[in-house]
Amino acid sequence: MWNAAVALDNDERDLLDEFEAGQIAVDLDFASPQEVLRWTLERWGQKVAISTSFQAEGMALLDMAWRLDPGIRVFTVDTGRLPQETYEMIETVRARYGMSIEIYFPDAAQVEAMVRLQGPDLFKKSVPARLRCCNVRKVEPIRRALAGLDAWITGLRRDQWASRANIRKVEIDHDHGGLAKISPLADWTAAEVEEYIQAHDVPVHPLYKQGYTSIGCAPCTRATKAGEDPRAGRWWWETNAPKECGIHCPIETGGFEHEMEAIVHLGAKGPADVGERV
Ligand code: SF4
């Protein structure tokens, strides 16, 4: 069905070209998440890692991958504004799976400069200010995390948001240096993720029990009401802005930076706004 693993020199980057990525994406389009993960781990080993913020999709993937390879690498970003419940999840995962989580932090000098100029809660002041905060606290640390990888695994699903409707299970992430972006859950529904979690007793983020349907930084996430879009609780005060942050959000879409650039450009009304660009 697809090519077997390739033995690689650690000093070389094993990047897919467009033809190979397209062929593999077709081959794996109907494969189960576990089959996609098995292929990914055989190909990249320690040069691939799961990106997670410990929401349902990331936890299901983490559990699946750990069953295939207990040495699977997992990374996350501590923005400095996470809810306490997310830190509790990190401790839960460390204890349950016996793994260390690679935690990336924002650059201290960038945070200091940003907060000194615009205050600690700049994200409430304008969309460009919010995007600057996301860029400093999330996007830049993720760029650093990805710089040492040949592939990364995300929990994206096609039915999460319009911008994710066409994702493939294997793609080239041109926004992060051309490494492969693997989305094994692309064709799963939220119900299938939930079913897996219950069947395998996977740890669940405590905020789901409080009505949260998407979980990010504490000041920028709220619980949602019945009938609301699952991502309606992210930056709920904004209108006409993408519900993406640059990390799973992308931090996982790869297209976030493009959306951010477009919005910042369109939203710039003068020197003050332009000055907020990172
Ligand atoms: Fe900043 Fe909010 Fe983005 Fe977190 S989600 S990085 S606090 S703007």
Which of 123, 235, 238 most suits a substitution to test ligand 1, by most atoms within 8 Å of the C-beta?
Answer: 123
What confidence tier does 272 reach under pLDDT thresholds 50, 70, 90?
A: very low
**Are the C-beta atoms of 181 and 173 separated by less than 8 Å?**
yes
Q: What's the rounded Cα separation, in Å, for the pair 78 and 140? A: 12
How much distance in Å is there from the Cα of 158 to the middle of ligand 1?
24
Ligand 1 site, residue 138, Cβ cutoff 6 A:
yes
Using DSSP's 3-state secondary structure scheme, residue 75 falls into strand
Residue 10: predicted pLDDT: 43
What confidence tier does 45 reach under pLDDT thresholds 50, 70, 90?
A: very high
Q: Among residues of the chain, what percentage have pLDDT more than 90?
A: 71
Cα→Cα distances 277→63, 118, 126, 151, 262, Å:
38, 12, 12, 29, 12
Take atom 3 of ligand 1 and give the residue whose Cα is closest. Answer: 134
Ligand 1 site, residue 216, Cβ cutoff 6 A:
yes
Q: Among residues of the chain, what percentage have pLDDT more than 70?
A: 81
Average pLDDT (163-184) is: 90
- Residue 210: is it exposed, middle or buried by C-beta count within 10 angstroms (0-12/13-18/19+)? exposed
| pLDDT tens per residue across span 182-229 | 999 999 999 999 999 999 999 999 999 999 998 999 999 999 998 888
**C-beta atoms surrounding 186 within 10 Å:** 25
pLDDT at 3 > cutoff 70: no
pLDDT at 59 > cutoff 90: yes
How much distance in Å is there from the Cα of 8 to the middle of ligand 1?
38
Domains defined for the chain, CATH in brackets:
18-206 (3.40.50.620)
User: Tokens 């990047």 sit at which residue?
Assistant: 15
Residue 161: predicted pLDDT: 66
Ligand 1 site, residue 137, Cβ cutoff 6 A:
yes
What mean pLDDT, rounded, does the chain reach?
85
| pLDDT tens per residue across span 226-263 | 888 888 888 888 877 776 665 444 433 444 444 544 44
Residue (of 237, 210, 238) closest to 224 by Cα position: 210
| pLDDT tens per residue across span 110-163 | 999 999 999 999 999 999 999 999 999 999 999 999 999 999 999 999 887 666
The more confident residue out of 256 and 172 is 172
Average pLDDT (155-172) is: 84
* Ligand 1 atom with minimal separation from the 245 CA: 3
Q: What's the rounded Cα separation, in Å, for the pair 123 and 246? A: 14
Average pLDDT (62-79) is: 98
Residue (of 26, 22, 50) closest to 37 by Cα position: 50
Residue 66: predicted pLDDT: 98
